[in-house]
Amino acid sequence: MIVIGVALFLLIVILVIVGMMMRDNKSNKTVFPPVKQPCPDLWMNDNDGNCYYVGKNKGSGFNTENNVLKYEGASNFPVYVYNQANGWTNSSGGSATQPKFVGNSIPNNLPANYAIFNTSDPQWTSGGKTAVCQQKTFSNNNNIYWDGISNTNQC
């Protein structure tokens, strides 16, 4: 009886401690994952917030047909596509000029056709969501894995 009583007492103490730890953790609202990658996996990053799709991890929103890259995802995301034959197009599929955020910082080793977006473009927040939530929607809708964005708990 003494052994069962001590074991029951320890069980109650441990459950109370675990319950208090869970309550404290819930109120902290820890962001997961704690680290966000600057660009989707296998995309290039130029350290200015520009992300370049260069042929890998394109997801379902991009299509290469007749050697022309097209973005076929939702038009509310600030994605620009450059094709050597056709020039720039925006996420709506219409022709566009070179985005202002690109400037002269285009890396030399890009292929002839590539897609680009800037993570600090104000259009990411235009839908009333935070930029992280819009980027999560973009990556999940287009099946693009972006560590720290496509699996975040902030939205």
How confident is the prediction along the chain (155 residues), in pLDDT tens digits per residue?
A: 999 999 999 999 999 999 988 887 766 666 767 778 888 988 888 878 888 887 776 677 888 877 788 888 888 888 898 888 888 888 887 888 878 777 666 777 778 888 888 888 888 887 788 888 899 999 988 888 888 898 888 88
Map out the domains of the chain as residue ranges.
1-30, 44-141
How far, CA to CA in Å, does 61 sit from each of 72, 76, 79, 107?
A: 5, 13, 11, 23
Cis peptide before 33 (omega within 30 of 0): yes
| 98-127 pLDDT, tens digit each | 787 776 667 777 788 888 888 888 888 877
Q: Please give the Cα distance from 155 to 138 (Å, whole number).
A: 13
What is the reported pTM? 0.73
Beta-carbon-side half-sphere exposure of residue 60 (alpha carbons within 13 Å)? 7
Q: Please give the Cα distance from 113 to 116 (Å, whole number).
A: 10
- Can you spell out the DSSP letters for 114-150? EEEEETT-GGGGTTSS-HHHHHHHHHHHTT---TTTT
Amino acid at 119: T
